Amino acid sequence: VIYADHSASTPPHPEVIRTLTEVTQRIYANPSSIHEWGGQADQLVQRARAVIAEALRVKHSEVLFTSGATESNNLAVFGVVRAMQSQGKPVHVIVSKIEHASVYACYEQLEREGVEVTYLPVNASGLVEPEQLKLALKPHTALVSIMHVNNETGSIQPLKELGALIKAESRALFHVDGVQGLGKLPVELASWKVDLYSLSGHKIRAPKGVGLLIHRGQFPLKPLMYGGSQEKGLRPGTMNVPSIVALAKGVRLATEGQEAAYGQLRQLHDQLVDYLQTQPQLIINSPLEEAFGAPHIINISFVGMKPEVVVHAMEKRGVILSTQSACSSKLDKPSRVLTAMTKDNARAASGLRISLAPDMTLEQVELIAKALAETVNELKGLIR
């Protein structure tokens, strides 16, 4: 079987599994306890925080551990907005139309609550254009959320330009969902002028159910939950020490390996694109220019065909890929991301995502292409 759904989740790295197992077995005391064993657990958490701070070039105190990127994104969005609301200020917020559901749904909820929300369009490559952002910014804009790499298409946002614009034109905070970028592309939080940055363990070969939010600077956040004083009271609850230590290992491996991973992924990507371009039935939705498209995600449409049918036909041939993002794939609606990008319902309703890992081989890419060609041949008679 060839697994080509790495943007949905990745196989944990052997070193991550070793760390997770060892810490689970040996360090089980509560890191908030005042005895020595508690102190040892706390030291491991602090070391993990230091490793992550070094990898992302932020301060130790700016790393908050969470249960994953969904929580990090919720904490970023509601944390900022609730803090502003508690000061009685009018709040305007901006979100791109192609954010992951864990960001987008927060803004939809804010809108239902009466907050003024601007949804930013994207161009045909899935990119936010700086002029559009400039038009949307207002004196009372509190927060802008624009992701690094889109999880369905791989579109890479021009974060440096967008961050500079946000800071030049407003006092808004800049939130970036970095889940799909780390380990594949360079991450430059300072030069992007990012205030809040979310990551998830399981997209970088670390465990599921652990993630982080980088909270750069002094601005206030309201917590989502109330309880103990862990993570400065912003994330109460006993800390998941084994997963946090394993996450730090994953972040370190991902950042150290980023350049090599990029080269390997680019080669696999370009080869696969060459094969796909020989199939007239398939439209490539992902931007192919190196500056605009990440090397690990290729989104294609087999117009007229239900993507679930293609996914199952591919699975019969031993290739695992996906429809839209795993979180939305059971919704049976055209992809919101592809709709915003292509403005074409038929294309948006037939999107498929192939997501690669750097340790895949050119032979595997060839087998994916062959299985797709056979699947297209098998199914094209069904299109009306």
Interface contacts to ligand PLP, rule CB under 6 A: 68-70, 100, 102, 147, 151, 177, 179-180, 200, 211, 325-327
* The token pair that represents 60 in the structure block: 């130790």
Decide whether 181 or 358 has the Cβ nearer to ligand PLP.
Answer: 181
Q: Residue 150 or 301: which CB sits closer to ligand PLP? A: 150
CB of 176 to ligand PLP, least distance (A): 10
Instruction: Tell me if 294 sits within 8 A of 347, measured CB to CB.
Output: no
Task: Give me the least distance between CB of 180 and ligand PLP, in Å please.
Answer: 5
Instruction: Give the nearer residue to ligand PLP in terms of CB position, either 136 or 179.
Output: 179
The residue annotated as part of the active site, out of 115, 309, 327, 376, is 327
User: Percentage helix, strand, coil, to 5, in the chain?
Assistant: 45, 15, 40
* Cβ density class 269-291: b for 16+ within 10 Å, e for less: beebbebbeebebbbbbbbeeee
Which of 105-118 are b and which e, b meaning 16 or more Cβ less than 10 Å from the residue's Cβ? bbbeebeeeebebb
What minimum distance in Å lies between the beta carbon of 215 and ligand PLP? 17
Task: Give the residue with the Cβ less far from ligand PLP, 325 or 364.
Answer: 325
**Residue with Cβ nearer ligand PLP (200 or 339):** 200
Which tokens hold the place of 20?
Answer: 């997770």
Contact 10, 204 (CB under 8 A): yes
Minimum CB separation of residue 338 from ligand PLP in Å reads: 15
Q: Minimal distance in Å, beta carbon 360 to ligand PLP?
A: 19
Which residues, 6+ apart, have CB-to-CB distance to 11 below 8 Å? 3, 205
Structure tokens at 162: 């967008």
- 106 catalytic? Reply is no
Q: Which is nearer to ligand PLP, 115 or 327 (CB)?
A: 327
For 81, 118, 137, 380, the CA distances from 113, given in Å and listed in that order, are 11, 14, 21, 46
CB of 333 to ligand PLP, least distance (A): 17
Strand 173-177 and strand 196-200: the pairing is parallel
Rg (CA), the chain: 21
Residue nearest to ligand PLP (CB): 68
> How many Å from the N-terminal Cα to the C-terminal Cα in the chain?
31
Question: Annotated catalytic sites, by residue?
Answer: 327
